[in-house]
Amino acid sequence: MILQTHRALARLSQCSSQCLDKHRFTALALNLTRVSRRANLENHEATDILRFTLSKPAISRTYATDAVSRPKAHTGRTTSSPRKKSSTVKTTASATDVRPAVANTTPAAKKTKAKSKTKAKSGAKPRTRAKSTKARKKPARAKAKPAKKKKALKPGEKERLEIKELKAKALSPPKRVPDTAFSVLLAEKQQELRTFDRSGSVAKECSKLYRSFTNEQREHYNHIANQNKASHNTKYREWILSHSPLKILEANNARAALKKRSKGQKSWPKLHDERLVTRQRGPYVTFTIQRHRSGDFAGIQLGEAGKLIAAEWRELSEDEKKPFFQEAEQDMARYEQEVKAVYDRAVKHEKAKA
């Protein structure tokens, strides 16, 4: 009987610790009184035992704590590491009835722990990331696109491009105006007909009409032609002065090249500029000019006169040619000075042709 009494007391203390409901608690109390009667205990002793049991501090269980659950059925999984044991303190009331006791973890205690953690975190210094020793890779620059290869020009295209460049260098002077009486008459007739005479029929009619003109009519057309010529000369002069002498020289060189390429199909006359430097004269040119000024070849064609002068030059001795060489040297010095002053460049020395 005494053993039953101890068991009842143990159950009563455990129920009070787990905060059971009132009905179950009263039932256990009644069971205790019955056992105490059988054990021949007095009423005051039973009440003292009950008070002693209730006077113990009750440990309330919170919802945050995990309840002890039964071991799960084996699922076939194999764990490499053993499971950690629970940190809750277990209390054994007896050898037959063993139940774990819940640790004293109330919500208030949890809050205090959480606050202490936050304070510790706030007090700690902020973590700084270690600077990476490796240098950051710069973004790769976009590769430049390869230049497109120029297509090889055909022979005809190359020649056309060269002619185009020469024409750009040749410059375009002011257009000529009718500067003779007949050209003025022809321009008037073409303006009346509003057509350009390609066949030459209008030119033939104008020539017949011009022959039948009186002196007063010819004087009228001559006067118009002189006015046109004077106005054109002034415009041409102004246009020449608007370009540098070196530019005019390059234009004349380009015109000479175009004249050679056109083979007489189109005329490319030289631009007349008084500022241009006269080229130097060689010994033979000096001798030719002197012979033409003598008048010995008057009435003789220019080609025939040139043959005779060349034959005379070959017959001259070195002493007879010496004065012409000296005169050519003086002219070369004059040419170098003028080129330096006008074109602002040095002269490339070439051997004078004898």
Structure confidence at residue 224 (pLDDT): 94
Q: What digits encode the pLDDT tens for the residues 187-246?
A: 888 888 877 666 778 888 888 999 999 999 999 999 999 999 999 999 999 999 999 999
- CA 146 to chain CA centroid, Å, is 14
Q: What digits encode the pLDDT tens for the residues 154-194?
A: 777 888 888 899 999 999 999 989 999 999 998 888 888 87
Structure confidence at residue 263 (pLDDT): 79
> What is the token pair recorded at 318?
């070195």
- Neighbouring C-beta atoms of residue 4, cutoff 10 Å: 15
Check if the beta carbon of residue 331 is closer than 8 Å to that of residue 278.
no
Check if the beta carbon of residue 99 is closer than 8 Å to that of residue 14.
yes
Structure confidence at residue 103 (pLDDT): 43
Long-range CB contacts for residues 344-347, cutoff 8 Å, separation at least 24: 344/246
Q: Which whole-number Å values give the CA distances from 265 to 85, 261, 262, 269, in the listed order?
A: 116, 9, 5, 13
Check if the beta carbon of residue 248 is closer than 8 Å to that of residue 173.
no
**Which class for 324: exposed (0-12), middle (13-18), buried (19 or more C-beta within 10 A)?**
buried
pLDDT truncated to tens, each residue of the chain (354 aa)?
Answer: 555 555 655 555 555 545 445 555 566 666 666 656 665 555 555 556 555 555 544 444 554 445 455 555 555 555 555 555 444 444 444 444 444 444 444 555 555 555 555 544 444 555 555 555 555 666 666 666 666 666 777 777 888 888 899 999 999 999 989 999 999 998 888 888 877 666 778 888 888 999 999 999 999 999 999 999 999 999 999 999 999 999 999 999 999 999 888 877 788 899 999 999 998 999 999 999 999 999 999 889 989 999 999 999 999 999 999 999 999 999 999 999 999 999 888 887 655 444
- Neighbouring C-beta atoms of residue 326, cutoff 10 Å: 12
Tokens 């050519």 found at: 328
Tokens 């004065």 found at: 323
Structure confidence at residue 86 (pLDDT): 47
Q: Which whole-number Å values give the CA distances from 190 to 204, 208, 335, in the listed order?
A: 12, 15, 48
Which among 273, 234, 233, 236 is positioned nearest to 251, based on CA atoms?
273
Strands (E), the chain: 90-92, 98-100
